[in-house]
Amino acid sequence: MKVVEFVKFDEKFLELSWIWLNDLEIKVLTNTPDFTQIDQRRWFESLDSKKDYEIWGVTVSGIPIGVCGLKNIKNSEAEYWGYIGDKLYWRKGIGEIMMKHIITICKKRELSVLKLFVLENNIAAINLYSKTGFQKQLAVNGLLEMIKIL
């Protein structure tokens, strides 16, 4: 059985996320803007000081495959984001495991609302979020807000 783990987002994940987020398909699906390696390094070095942000590397049987996290953690709300960078691991139930793990963390922290933004044409992701209990809210400029009451 493959074991999915949520681990520290370290230099190894930093290097891989550079590759993953520069893959055109993933860049588009995750709505990632252009960025340089200097931007990325600056962002990485700011992580420890960010109080409203958390990030985890995702491994399957020890192999790094993706990244997920929470941002804009404020009062009783947070915003989920995540992607599987290694396409060999798409459609194997891991996205669902990632989401369920994050929901469990949010519930333990007594957050009451989890939201996310997804491109309106990212059907795979929208299906995953609907399956895990998110409701569609307004779409603005092609970006759909989805919300789950915890």
Ligand X SMILES: CC(C)(COP(=O)(O)OP(=O)(O)OC[C@H]1O[C@@H](n2cnc3c(N)ncnc32)[C@H](O)[C@@H]1OP(=O)(O)O)[C@@H](O)C(=O)NCCC(=O)NCCS
* Interface with ligand X (CB under 6 A): 26, 29-30, 83-84, 90-96, 118, 122-125, 127-128, 131
d(CA 19, CA 60): 18
Point out the residue whose Cβ comes nearest to ligand X: 95
| Nearer residue to ligand X within complex by CB, 34 or 110 | 34
Kindly state the smallest distance separating residue 38's Cβ from ligand X, in Å.
24
Closest CA to 104 of 148, 63, 64, 144: 148
Kindly state the smallest distance separating residue 143's Cβ from ligand X, in Å.
10
| Nearer residue to ligand X within complex by CB, 102 or 110 | 102
Kindly state the smallest distance separating residue 49's Cβ from ligand X, in Å.
26
DSSP, residue by residue, 29-78:
HTTPPP--HHHHHHHHHHGGG-SS-EEEEEEETTEEEEEEEEEEEETTEE
